[in-house]
Structure 1
Amino acid sequence: MRLGIQIGYSGQGFADAVDEVVECEEAGAELVVVPEAYSFDAVSQLGFLAARTRRMGLASGVMQLYTRTPTLTAMTAAGIDYVSGGRFALGLGASGPQVIEGFHGVRYDAPIARTREVVEICRRVWRRETLVFEGDHYRVPLPGEFGKPLKLINRPVRPRIPVLLAAMGPRNVALAAEIAEGWQALFFDPRAAGRVFGDALADGLARRDPSLGPLDVSVPVPFALAEATPALLSAHRASLALYLGGMGARGRNFSNDLIKRYGYAREASLIQELFLSGRKAEAAAAVPDDLVAATSLVGRPDEVRRRIDELAAAGVTTLLVSPLAATRAERVKDVAALRALIT
């Protein structure tokens, strides 16, 4: 199992976070993932990380599908791969209408079909094909007298940059299993994974091109080698409440839908109602304890080892940990110890 670090929506303190990532690289971390919500962009931060790290892979976790043209997405990925010496993986996701329409002013439509077309355009650009693409949602070049088919001027470090698709719904998960090198899950409960994702993964894998290799399944988890106290898990509980309650509207919240499929329909509805009515502390308190535990990696070494085995049995191949210990030294020490547990 591969060990990665997922940094937060860093903003202030980003330089300190990178200093810690560098130490985690020395401690055995193999990958760092940078998110992109309605925060600073992921690209500038990935460029900074490319200069500061030496061996570890870099990934966006995730760049938003609607906010860049497909060709710019391909150019950007090739640029990060170039400055990092071939260490980049393009994490893509559709985000949701709250962010795409509310912050970017772009219509959120046809996420599955658009994802498929964006990935195909990126791969053509990386192969330096003269780009001609006629899809249902993207057409390159545009018709008319001025558009001319072009190809990327530079030669990418690699003609195929790995693509990781963030997905929660069955159709998105099936698409990731079909066309991407990796699938990035969120709030992954290994106890329910087979029931909730099994059919979608099987459907996508049945259509998968063997040249893509095995599907990398990456799962972000808050992590600590310590007793799983309420205080230690409070930030994760609050994050679950935020995503289930506030990262989307009533009737259009993908995280909330996922937790309902796990079997928490009543709880998911209650958390959303409390959060959207401004009762955020009550929403966090309503998050089930077993869901908090199942979607984190906190405990004594023997307990964490058992959880790693559960995750591996559920198909997880990459852990993206967010260390929770109080000090940098403790967090780096925990990462080194986790590396030893995984090996």
Structure 2
Amino acid sequence: MKLGLSIGYSGAELTLPVEKVLLAERLGFDSVWTAEAYGSDAISPLAYLAAVTERIRLGTGIMQLAARPPVSAAMAAGTLDALAGGGRVIAGLGVSGPQIVEGWYGQPWGKPYWRIRDYVAIMRKVFARKEPVAHAGREISLPYTGPGALGVGKPLMSILHMDARLPIWLGTGTEANVKLTAEIADGWLPLGFVPRLMPTLRPWLEEGFRRAGGHKGFANFEIQARAEVAITDDVRGALAGMKPRVALYVGGMGHRDKNFHKEMMIRRGFGEAAQRIQELYLGRRKDEAVAAVPDEFCDEMSLVGPVARIRERYRAWADCGITGLTLVTDQPEALELMAKIAGASPRT
């Protein structure tokens, strides 16, 4: 199974873990992944990493759709890929949530399903350069003819010749959007994935493949899950370290009535806990919200504990049907262990 390394988005100060990325590349990791919320962006750090790495793929996990028009996302991904030498960039996309879309970007939430479909279609037209880009979509159209338009816009073709097959992956979690991902994308960044969910998710993916026609299936579609990894004798302590982030996302990263992370927790069978965490967090009782996160919820989406425990629990991930696993860890020794377990091919 391919391995990825998550470096996420920055805190108050931007620092890039360059040595950790270089170690991952030496160990044979396939990809490194950035993210964005409402601070550092997902593309710029990868441009820096492109200059100091040689082979590792550079993925955005994810670029928020509201952050840039689809042609701008295509321009950024295509430019980054050219700087990296070609064939190294994965354009990972996602909708984020309505609080960020409307509150940070000043964009309407609209109809995310149709926005995703329009966005991907336009990016593919930019990459392909078959003709000037025009698109009549449900959510996005080019040229723009809506309120405030002068009516003089014209279809244009990218000056830069980009990789026509630059891969587009989608970060999704709902049934409709997972089916859409399988239909129109090259890969999937599943929200809140754990191995036991694959029997439920597989039919959704198969339906998406069916809609795309006979050319798509699991053999030519990548699925990159995510897991926190820590080598430790204190399993409960490691799980406790994950809970503040879970409480933040389930409790506060979204509106009370529209929070995809809370919905994901409910789908995983922790509905009571999800409701309690949100109530506590929004009630400014954050420590109690953290304490309300179940150990089991964190444990099944991570690989923590002694080496033998990590090896044993890795089998479920390796056998569930995903093609890659992105690791979240601060431990160089965890990267080395996972490279051995997954059979990565180190650089010589």
TM, length-normalised to structure 1: 0.92
Q: Give 1:313 shift.
A: 2.6
Write out aligned runs for 1:213-252 (5 A).
Answer: 214-252=220-258
Instruction: Give the Cα–Cα distance (whole angstroms) in 2 for the partners of residues 47 and 17 of structure 1.
Output: 14
Q: Give 1:40 shift.
A: 0.7
Moved more, 88-97 or 287-296: 287-296
1:186 aligns with 2:191: yes
Match of 1:97 in 2: 98
Name the aligned partner's letter for residue 342 of structure 1: A
Name the aligned partner's letter for residue 106 of structure 1: Q
Q: Which runs of 5+ in 2 are unaligned?
A: 344-348
Q: Give 1:307 shift.
A: 2.3
Name the aligned partner's letter for residue 306 of structure 1: E
Match of 2:8 in 1: 8
Name the aligned partner's letter for residue 122 of structure 2: I
Contact 1:245 1:283 in 2 (8 A): yes
Q: Give 1:296 shift.
A: 0.8
Instruction: Give the Cα–Cα distance (whole angstroms) in 2 for the partners of residues 148 and 244 of structure 1.
Output: 44
Give CA deviations for 1:118-176 in whole Å, capped at 9, x if unaligned: 111111111113112111222212356522221001111x2111111001111111111
Instruction: Give the Cα–Cα distance (whole angstroms) in 2 for the partners of residues 284 and 146 of structure 1.
Output: 54
Match of 2:316 in 1: 310
Name the aligned partner's letter for residue 210 of structure 2: A
Q: Give 1:12 shift.
A: 5.5
Instruction: Give the Cα–Cα distance (whole angstroms) in 1 for the partners of residues 302 and 132 of structure 2.
Output: 46
1:73 aligns with 2:73: yes
Q: Give 1:211 shift.
A: 5.8
| Alpha-carbon distance change, 274 to 149 in structure 1, aligned in 2, over 3 angstroms | same
1:127 aligns with 2:128: yes
Contact 1:27 1:332 in 2 (8 A): no
Write out aligned runs for 1:104-123 (5 A).
Answer: 104-123=105-124
Instruction: Give the Cα–Cα distance (whole angstroms) in 1 for the partners of residues 59 and 253 of structure 2.
Output: 23
Instruction: Give the Cα–Cα distance (whole angstroms) in 1 for the partners of residues 256 and 16 of structure 2.
Output: 37
Match of 1:328 in 2: none
RMSD: 1.8
Q: Give 1:15 shift.
A: 4.0
| Alpha-carbon distance change, 25 to 140 in structure 1, aligned in 2, over 3 angstroms | same
Instruction: Give the Cα–Cα distance (whole angstroms) in 2 for the partners of residues 131 and 230 of structure 1.
Output: 53
Q: Give 1:94 shift.
A: 0.3
Contact 1:241 1:283 in 2 (8 A): yes
TM, length-normalised to structure 2: 0.91
SS class of match (1:66): helix
Instruction: Give the Cα–Cα distance (whole angstroms) in 2 for the partners of residues 187 and 145 of structure 1.
Output: 44
Match of 1:45 in 2: 45
Q: Which runs of 5+ in 1 are unaligned?
A: 325-330
Name the aligned partner's letter for residue 178 of structure 1: E
Instruction: Give the Cα–Cα distance (whole angstroms) in 2 for the partners of residues 290 and 208 of structure 1.
Output: 37
Instruction: Give the Cα–Cα distance (whole angstroms) in 1 for the partners of residues 277 and 15 of structure 2.
Output: 35
Instruction: Give the Cα–Cα distance (whole angstroms) in 1 for the partners of residues 144 and 193 of structure 2.
Output: 41
Contact 2:14 2:40 in 1 (8 A): no
Contact 1:6 1:32 in 2 (8 A): yes
Contact 1:28 1:336 in 2 (8 A): no
Match of 1:321 in 2: 327
Q: Give 1:22 shift.
A: 1.4
Instruction: Give the Cα–Cα distance (whole angstroms) in 2 for the partners of residues 76 and 65 of structure 1.
Output: 13
Count the aligned residue pairs. Answer: 335
Moved more, 226-235 or 54-63: 226-235
Give CA deviations for 1:210-264 in whole Å, capped at 9, x if unaligned: 2685221111211123235233233311111111111111121111111111111
Instruction: Give the Cα–Cα distance (whole angstroms) in 1 for the partners of residues 157 and 16 of structure 2.
Output: 39
Moved more, 265-274 or 214-223: 214-223
Instruction: Give the Cα–Cα distance (whole angstroms) in 1 for the partners of residues 267 and 287 of structure 2.
Output: 24
Q: Give 1:314 shift.
A: 2.3
Contact 2:303 2:310 in 1 (8 A): yes
| Among 148, 153, 162, the residue aligned to 2:159 | 153
Instruction: Give the Cα–Cα distance (whole angstroms) in 2 for the partners of residues 224 and 124 of structure 1.
Output: 42
User: How many percent of aligned residue pairs carry the same amino acid?
Assistant: 37
1:172 aligns with 2:177: yes
Instruction: Give the Cα–Cα distance (whole angstroms) in 2 for the partners of residues 99 and 264 of structure 1.
Output: 25
Contact 1:28 1:335 in 2 (8 A): no
Match of 2:346 in 1: none
Instruction: Give the Cα–Cα distance (whole angstroms) in 1 for the partners of residues 308 and 212 of structure 2.
Output: 36
